[in-house]
Amino acid sequence: MDKECMEERSNVEIRFRCTDACTKAEMPDEDRINDINLLIFDEYGLLEKHVFVENGPESCSVNLLKGVRYTVCACANFGYKVMADCIDDLKELAFYMAYPDEYRDGMPMAGFIDDAVIHDDCRMTIELERLMARIDIRMDRSRLSEGVDM
């Protein structure tokens, strides 16, 4: 790569942070990040770069063109490399779970930054949002009629 081409690019540090949604009895694994799919799309919605990182990444560095607008998307805890050639493919993606507690490697999360313009020493943080909700229900069954089972 020649020097002129290198000057038009910048290393970008992208950090991942879970949103501050919390529950009364939050389990520590709900905010765990086991793996990240980082997909970066150009201004036309086409895939520019895809990085899959395992083992609990807190951040990722990529080299992108300066002055260009990108959409940066992250999918956490999917457990596999996501395939998407364009942003429309990613929007159609569904994550299926066989059991409601099937998140021992971390709850599936996603986040994005739209219209990110790259400049020198660029840093950005993607807020990851959980893709599922957990509801705990407790009930007092002492007043149920005889013969009623729950």
110's tokens: 């996603």
Please report the DSSP string for the chain in residue order: --HHHHHTEEEEEEEEEE-S---TT--GGGG---EEEEEEE-TTSBEEEEEEEES--SEEEEEEETT-EEEEEEEES-SS----SBHHHHHT-----SSTT--TT---EEEEEEEEEP-TTEEEEEEEEESS---------TTSPTT---
pLDDT score for 82? 94
Mean pLDDT of 50-63: 90
pTM here? 0.76
Mean pLDDT of 94-116: 83
Mean pLDDT of 38-61: 93
At 113-138, the pLDDT tens digits run 999 999 888 899 999 998 887 677 88
pLDDT score for 40? 97
Measuring CA to CA, which residue among 99, 148, 123 is closest to residue 14? 123
Give the sign of the dihedral formed by CA 55, CA 60, CA 62, CA 67: positive
At 4-38, the pLDDT tens digits run 444 588 889 998 988 654 444 445 467 788 999 99
